[in-house]
Copies of this chain bind each other. A is one copy, B any other.
């Protein structure tokens, strides 16, 4: 019997694990941190300047990313330097940007009519 879920789709924990990684990325401050770490390791205080939140908040963002294995850190004196462990995430985020561009073009294409005499809805239901 061949249902939709007989490939990798049936594996429950895989999807949960993927979701955890994505949640660890899905925050503007954490994405800002990712972009900074793309250029090399940074200590927590440098990252605080970047994201502009309180230091404990930045520290927790870093912990969340470290907990799912996308960052690592090393201590040097009193400072802790974080670095990116999964470089392929950067091109993956590029795809997110492509999605954003495609979406905004689509909105312009279907919503920019001078007068609104049209009967059908702007985008598909």
Contacts and interface: CB of A to CB of B under 8 A. Distances in A.
Q: How large is the interface on A (under 10, 10 to 19, 20 to 34, 35 or more residues)?
A: 35 or more
Contacts of A30: 19
A17 B100 contact: yes
Contact of A36 (B4, B32, B73, B93): B4
Main secondary structure on chain A at its contact with chain B?
Answer: helix
Given A4-B50, A18-B28, A46-B4, A89 B95 contact: yes
Interface string A89-105: 10111011111101110
Interface in A3-54: 3-5, 8-10, 12-19, 21-23, 25-32, 35-36, 42, 46, 49-50
Interface of A: 3-5, 8-10, 12-19, 21-23, 25-32, 35-36, 42, 46, 49-50, 68-70, 72-75, 80, 85-86, 88-89, 91-93, 95-100, 102-104, 106-107, 111-112, 123-125
